[in-house]
Structures are given as C-alpha cells and as structure tokens.
Structure 1
Amino acid sequence: MATDYDAPRKTEEDQSEESIEELKARRHDKNSGKVDEDEAEAAESFELPGADLSNEELAIEVKPKQDDEFTCMNCFLVHHRSQLADPKKMICKDCS
C-alpha cells in the first residue's frame, strides 16, 4: 500500500475534535432509541414501607433439620457441621 507523504496530516487536535463530534452524534442516536415508560405501571411494581399486606398470602416449605446441620446460638443461622467452632456453645466460625 502506497503512502502519500504530500497529503496534509491530521494533528492531534484535529483528531480530538473529530472524536468529540462523533461522540455527540452517538449520544443523539442513543437517546432516539429510548422507549417511553409509563410511570403509573412502573410505580405499581414498587412496595412501599407500611403497605397493607393483609390480603397477601405467604407460602413456604419448612424442611426438617438434617443430621449434618446445626443452628448457631449467636446468629441463629443454620450451618453445616463443618462451620461449627465451639460444640459446647453451638457457635459457628463466623460468630466465634
């Protein structure tokens, strides 16, 4: 490939100006692709503190304690036996 050494060269300032113009053009393109969101629909999905949840039902399944698990007497979390730090006090490694 041949190079024309007589052609005017672009300085760093020219290159930075072009890149700024390109960025401005891209910014306008990104805004044109946005979808208008209905604020009322978006607000329905948020739970407010103190909301009335009396008509809501919670369905959970309680599984029985396994032989290799224990409940920490400090944090009251269920851990695997490998996390037991003090068998007398039944405290996990995180709490010890």
Structure 2
Amino acid sequence: MATDYDAPRKTEEEQSEDSIEELKARRHEKNSGKVDEDEVEAAESFELPGADLSHEELSVQVVPRQSDEFTCSSCFLVHHRSQLAHTKGKQLICVDCA
C-alpha cells in the first residue's frame, strides 16, 4: 500500500476518536458505489477496431519429433534431451517439473 508522506498526520487523540462504528460506516460508503456487473456481458458490448477475424484462416505446419527431444509427462511440453531430469518407468520428467 502506498503511503503519502506529505499528508498531515493525525495526533493520538484524533486516532482514538475514530470509533469502530464510524470506520465500518466509512467502509460501507466506499463500497456502496460499486455495481455488480457480469464481466462477460460487459466484454461482449465492446467493439474493437479490426477485431473481425472471420475471414482469416490459420495454417499450422506440424514438425515431427526430433531424435534429441522428449515430451515431459508432467507439463506435456517438448524439451531438448539436455532438460531431462529423470525417468519414472516410461515417464520422462523435465528439469522444471522435477
């Protein structure tokens, strides 16, 4: 939390004057302006310029597994053999997941 060091300080007397009821009332006043809004509905109403991607096509070229690569059994990412930490039976585990 940021501290404003230039703000005037309260004395011990002023701090003790704040009762718990006053503090609760202030907290409710701050929250009273908030409106419960569904985030999905709010996001659907926004129109972004150039966001129409209906005419775009995605093409992906799948490269076959190389001889010096393995797929980690924990995170399912493809790593180089130098990232192999250990094997559990036939399961290969990378350094990040070990």
Q: What band does the TM-score fall into relative to the shorter chain?
A: 0.3 to 0.5
**TM-score, normalization by structure 2:** 0.43
Larger Rg: 1
**TM-score, normalization by structure 1:** 0.44
